[in-house]
Amino acid sequence: MMANHVVKPDSRNCKRPREVEPQMPDNPLLSSVGKSDSPFSDCSGLFYKDEALEKELNDTSKEINVMFFAYAKILSERAAVDGSYLNEIDELFKEADIIENFLIQKREHLRQRLTVITNTLKR
């Protein structure tokens, strides 16, 4: 029968246990913080990222301004159209008043003529 025994590795053949190496983060901003090649190496990576962020913010700001001015132009044109509609409605009301007054005068004139005709027939 075979005896179960644990085979221990020979300590002479084993390599020294590997020291745990700190893993570098994927983020270049964070990885540059751990490096200290020169006093400016930390700042150069951050400066590049700040510069890129500043450029993105400027580009985004320009796009927003373009959209804002386009929207303002559309609103201005719409307000002008609405204003012209109001002017047209005012003109229509003036014309309606003129027609109403004309019809009132015609009705009054017709009433007077009918009154004259009625008085003539009664005699």
HEC letters along 10-28: CCCCCCCCCCCCCCCCCCH
Pick the residue with more confidence: 51 or 78? 78
pLDDT at 121 over 70: yes
Regarding pTM above 0.75, the answer is no
Burial 19-52 (b: 16+ CB within 10 A, else e): eeeeeeeeeeeeebeeeeeeeeeeeebeeeeeee
Query: Can you give the pLDDT at residue 50?
Result: 84
| Residue 25 near residue 31 (C-beta atoms within 8 A) | yes
Query: Can you give the pLDDT at residue 113?
Result: 96
Within 10 Å of residue 81's Cβ, how many Cβ atoms? 10
- Identify the H or E element spanning 37: none
Mean pLDDT of the chain: 77
Q: Give the CA distances from residue 40 to residues 9, 27, 48, 50, 83, in Å, rounded to whole numbers and listed in that order.
A: 49, 19, 12, 15, 62
Average pLDDT over residues 77-94: 95
Tokens of 95: 């014309």
What residue segments make up the domains of the chain, in order of their start?
Answer: 40-122
Query: Can you give the pLDDT at residue 46?
Result: 62
pLDDT tens for residues 14-40?
455 555 444 544 544 444 444 444 444
